[in-house]
Each structure stands twice: as C-alpha cells, then as structure tokens.
Amino acid sequence: MNFESVKKYIKEAGLPNFRIGQVREAIFKKGISSWDEATSLPAQLREQLKKDCPLLSFEVTEITCSRQDKVAKALLTLKDGWRIETVLLKPQDTWSVCVSSQVGCPLRCSFCSTGKMGFKRDLTQEEITDQVLMWYQYVKREKLGERISSVVFMGMGEPLLNYLNVIKAAKDLSDPDYLNIGARHISVSTSGIADKLHKLAVDLPQANLAVSLHNADNAERSQIMPVNRKYDLDDLKKALEEYIAMTGRQVFLEYSVIENVNSRPEHIRKLADWIYSIKDNYLLHVNLIACNLGRGEKTDERVVKDFAAGLKAMGIGVTIRKSMGNDILAACGQLASQKKKEGL
C-alpha cells in the first residue's frame, strides 16, 4: 500500500482532507482487508479505490499454519509473477513478522534454502512494508488479539544488498501514521556486508542488528558462506567495532550449529577468541539455533546445548533460540518459494 499515492488520489479527486484521515484509520488502525470494509467512506469512493488503489502490491496465494507452534507462513505472488514467502510468529507474548527483502538471494550460503535458489531481483519498499500490512490484516481478520509489535528482516534475501528500500521500509513501519512499530522493535539481519554497517548506524541507529556468523574461522566460513571471501572476519570485526562505538547498541551474533561442520570444541574456542578480540565485546551476544538440515531434520539439541555450555564456560553471553515453524518450512533458512506463477 503506497499511502502517499492514495493521499494524492484523494486530493486530485477534489475530496476533503478528512477523507485522508478516514482512509488512514481504516487501513492502519482497523486493518481492513477490502475497501468494502471502509464503511466510513462513500460507496462510490470505495469502488474507485478498489479499482485504482489496491490495498496490497501482491496476491496472497496461500497461508499455511503450523500445528506445532504459533506460526503462519504466506506465499505471495508479486505483480511480475515471482513468488516470495513471509512469516508471522509468536515466539513469546506478541506477534512478530519476518519479512523478505529480495526474490531469492545472491549470497548462496550452503545451509540456506533461499541461497540455493539464486537471485532474481530486489523487492520494492512497498513490497516489503506490505508484508507487514498483510499480516496485520490477517491478525485483525482472524481476531488473534494482540497487534504486531516487531519486525525482523530475516526472510528471503540479504537486506543490506537492498539497502535503500530496506531503510525506507523500516522508517515507514515505525511511522506513527503507519503501523507505528517502535524502531527498537525492528531488527535487521545481515550475513556480514561490512561496508554497509556504518550507514546502517547512521540511518537506523535504534534498530537491532543481527549478524549471521556461523563460523569464526575464515577458511571454514568461506566454505559455507561465500560472502566471507569479500568481507572476511577481520573486515567484519572492524565494522562491528565502529557500529558499536556509534550506536552503543547490543549486537546479536547468529550461529546455526551444524553437527561436524561448526560444532566442535575448536569452533567454540575460535568463536570466543574472535569475540574477545573485538572492542566493547560485552555488547556482543550469541544466539544459537539448531540448523535445519531439510527433510524435517535438524541438528541434535544435545550438540547445541554442549556448544552453549562451552561458550558460557568461556564467559560468552549465549542464548539458544527456539526453532519455530519447522513443520511448514517456515524456520530459519527454510524460505524458498521464488517460482514464477505459471503463464507469466
């Protein structure tokens, strides 16, 4: 929903300004799924808006709900036929949305389903924000109670390679006149695009930063994350030191534990040594997750717990994140639907 275009449409139609407020209330407060539900507007205007100003910039093709967790995944078909996925989840007491920023991903991380599909294009600012608006409509329509309180850029794609649209989307989402999601409740996850972290600290100083690390050995990280060949651990270290100095914010290091790949005692030691080499490392916190291996399989929880215990013994702050939505392929690294709609 490009609300600026709706405002322009109303003004050019010569309608009174209070109609803009009514439209804003209908979309961002009541969460209407159809212009027919905007009953405060004249019927003729509703019909015109239905024709000229669609509420969403894509088609909601399918919504799948988990039987195990409070998780739902949506398959969205974009106007050019490409398909993406987005996730609604409730890890604690409030709803969170995991948004995609690209169709596919150019980084080709070996453990990520999206990365294996290649890159098609960046999502527009509107296509990103509409993912959250779509879930807001869903929460209202299904009477799920609480509002959406947080957004994480952890879906398909590398957010910092679609930098301008991601920044614009994040600012829109936190706008009090839009969905009013607090800036500190917006998280950006990156595979380590080191030369963008300075700009991120300037443009979104209150947002949360998560870095997908997954290995603290340069050679091994390059094997599972080819991005490390361009931005290695030394580059990332310098960028994180600058980011922390500029923002004073905690940074989360994401680490998917893959048994016999990055789970051994030497990996624990190298990770701890790398963290301790960073200035103000007390602001770094490790999030561990059992890697989703496909076919419903994931790293044994015992391996993850042993890894966490090893880090704690070395004085590193660590949390084991619960993997949610595995039964509908909605967990970390599992989003993968970019296939074009037939006939397009």
pLDDT tens digits for 34-53? Answer: 999 999 999 999 999 999 99
Got the DSSP string for 16-76?
-THHHHHHHIIIIIS--SSGGG-TTS-HHHHHHHHHHS-S-SEEEEEEEE-SSSSEEEEEE
From 105, 112, 291, 332, the catalytic residue:
332
Instruction: Parse the chain into domains and list their residue ranges.
Output: 1-55, 60-328
Tokens found for residue 60: 């909601």
Residue ranges of E strands in 154-277: 186-190, 208-212, 251-257
Strand partners, 254: 212, 287
CATH code linked to domain 60-328: 3.20.20.70
User: Residue 38 in contact with residue 46, Cβ under 8 Å?
Assistant: yes
Please confirm, yes or no, whether 332 is among the known catalytic residues. Answer: yes
pLDDT value at 339 more than 90: no
Write b or e for each residue in 72-93: b if 16 or more Cβ atoms lie within 10 A of its Cβ, otherwise e.
bbbbbbbeeebbbbbbbbbeee
More confident residue, 65 or 130: 130
pLDDT tens digits for 115-144? Answer: 778 899 999 999 999 999 999 999 999 988
For position 300, what pLDDT does the model report? Answer: 85
The arithmetic mean of pLDDT across residues 251-275, rounded, is: 95
Please confirm, yes or no, whether 105 is among the known catalytic residues. Answer: no
The arithmetic mean of pLDDT across residues 61-72, rounded, is: 86
3-state helix, strand, coil in the chain (%, to 5): 40, 20, 40
3-state DSSP assignment of residue 266: helix
Fold of 1-55: DNA polymerase; domain 1 (1.10.150)
From 85, 126, 127, 254, the catalytic residue:
85
Sequence-distant (6+) residues with CB within 8 A of 217 are 267, 270
Write b or e for each residue in 95-133: b if 16 or more Cβ atoms lie within 10 A of its Cβ, otherwise e.
bbbbbbbbbbbebbbebbbbbebebbebbbbbbbbbbbb
Q: How confident is the model at residue 344 (pLDDT cuts 50, 70, 90)?
A: very low
User: Residue 151 in contact with residue 187, Cβ under 8 Å?
Assistant: yes
Q: What is the mean pLDDT of the chain?
A: 91
The arithmetic mean of pLDDT across residues 274-286, rounded, is: 97
pLDDT tens digits for 179-228? Answer: 999 999 999 999 999 999 999 999 999 999 999 999 999 999 999 999 99
Q: Indicate the pTM of the whole model.
A: 0.91
